[in-house]
Structure 1
Amino acid sequence: MCTSLVFEVSDPTAFVLAVAVAEGVPTTVETLRVALDGEPVEPRPLTEGHGTRLSLFETTPGILQLDYTATVVGRAEPAPVDAVDAVVYLRPSRYVQSDTLTPFARDTFGGLEGWPLARAVGEWVHDRLEYRPDATSPTGGAVETLEVGAGVCRDYAHLTAALLRALDHPARIVSVYAPQLDPMDLHAVVEVLVEGRWVVVDATRLAPRTGLVRIATGRDATDTAFETNTLADVELLTMSIDARADTVFADDPDEPVELG
């Protein structure tokens, strides 16, 4: 798994990056290099809940480059289920406005529960939306995505999670490396709590769920964004993702899959 990012930083700012594979993902080689105008910057590591690994650092104006590489061997253990999660991931959040969509969700999916519901929601979102960059605003959430009828992976994930939460099924957003995704990019999917397991719903169906590698887990893109900064003048100049795998993965969207 490889991520390369180049930013032009115009103001002093504090960065938080989330590009490392989650804690518990088995790796043999892992490196993170950050440099400002060619001079090394030493990030401070921090691990959040669900194994999300953050890199924190401050920088002055200049050209900032980040290169992360990891060789993943095998899969992590399935995500544990915490009783608190069942509460947290039922609540509406900034981009997952499940309270607003509750009447619509009940009218559309009434009578379904568990994996049949999760599968139906994923299929409905897949059929309803058009995958189109720049269709929604950076601050738009599930409601805007439903109105526009288009978006990218995070929009698909926010709408899927909102409909599931609206129907009393805990759902959360996960950023992942996705082998076989074309074009290659960081990807976003949903985990829904079904019968004591977190199972994956990817309404885009752009990459097999069986090969996904967890990066960050949270309520919505607020918690899983690959980069945040202190509202400074920062421009992303280039971004390159490589998530090649030695195995060709297969996926049956009708079957539940757990994310390692």
Structure 2
Amino acid sequence: MKREVSAALEVEITGPTTLEFQIAVAPHPGASVSEALSFVLNGAPIPALEISGTHGNRIHKLDVGVGDLKVTYEATITGRTDPAPVTEYDLSMYLRPSRYAEADKFYGFAATEFGSFLESEALLEQVSVWVGARLNYVPGSSDPIDGAVDTLLAGEGVCRDFAHLVVALLRAVNVPARVVSVYAPGLYPMDFHAVAEAYVNGQWRVVDGTLLAPRQSLVRIATGRDAADTAFLDNHKGAIALQSLEVMAIAVGDLPRDSIDQLVSIG
């Protein structure tokens, strides 16, 4: 499999600040990755500090003054990466409630809805189907600070909201689960995408309640407890405005066929 991905952002900066971007793909052991990343402020290239985070997350941090910042990234990924590693720390951390995936508020509810599927591979399919049936995918419908409870009550959201609800429900029935930001060939409308990843039978398996892109084609960017760990842009001081964002992700050749009852790993 060969996949080509890119992102182009324009950010207006009205006060000196520190920005952190997570748009570069995570390391892909076993696959070949070629990439280019640039930051240009008011027409002049500026350097960024790359910080290596958990699970290979790559944070590009830069201090910027007032002006217009243009960010471009492109990568070609050839082949599939090795399965994501599993640690005992992960299996502990990703059972815990987090800011946007409040699993502790779903304990009784999730047990009632999914109790008959516990310890079963069918659990992931059932949670995906349930979330997909309960939520409508509506661009712009949610607030960036909405959590899984807000999403369930609203009955609508975007990909990160679907992922947060999936993660909260799985953690509530003692299945370690986390959020992954990805490039998603086949996604429409094209954007950065968010999915859930659950630990089943010794591996991390991807769950996407939106069913908007084949899971086999996804390219990992960042992994964490929820969107607080995987956001494509964080601002830590001055004021900014995102003026434009363009994301592209294609799979060379035919897109893989996906079936919701299959166990699929991000690769």
The 1:189/1:88 distance shift into structure 2, 3 A limit, reads same
Percentage identity across paired residues of the two chains: 45
User: Equivalent residue for 1:80?
Assistant: 85
- TM-score, scaled relative to structure 1: 0.98
Structure 1 unmatched runs, 5+: none
1:28 shift after superposition: 4.3
Look up the SS of the partner of 2:149 in the other structure: helix
Please state how far the C-alpha of 1:134 moved relative to its aligned partner. 2.4
Matched, 1:200 2:206: yes
Question: Mean alpha-carbon deviation: is it higher for 241-250 or for 11-20?
Answer: 241-250
Shift of residue 106 of structure 1? 1.2
1:210 and 2:227 correspond: no
Which structure 2 residues correspond to residues 22-101 of structure 1 after superposition, within 5 A? 22-24=26-28, 26-101=31-106
The number of residue pairs the alignment matches comes to 260
Counterpart of 1:229 in structure 2 is 235
Q: Are positions 1:251 and 2:258 aligned together?
A: yes
Match of 2:110 in 1: 105
TM-score, structure 2 as length reference:
0.95
Aligned residue number for residue 16 of structure 1: 20
Compute the displacement of 1:183 (Å): 1.3
1:133 and 2:139 correspond: yes
Which of 122, 131, 154 aligns to 2:128? It is: 122
Structure 2 vs 1, CA of residues 88 and 211 (structure 1 numbering), >3 Å: closer, same or farther?
A: same
**How far did 1:158 drift?**
0.1
Displacement over 6 Å in runs of 4+: none
Separation in 2, partners of 1:88, 1:142: 18
Give the partner amino acid of 2:184.
A
Q: What amino acid does structure 1 have at the position aligned with 2:234? A: T
Letter in 1 for 2:266: L
Structural RMSD (CA) = 1.0
Instruction: State the shift of 1:115 in Å.
Output: 2.1
Contact 1:153 1:188 in 2 (8 A): yes
| Cα distance in 2, alignment partners of residues 58 and 148 from structure 1 | 38
CA deviations on 1:166-216 (whole Å, 9 max, x unpaired) are: 000000000000001111111000110001110010000000001000000
Distance 1:208 1:122 in 2: 14
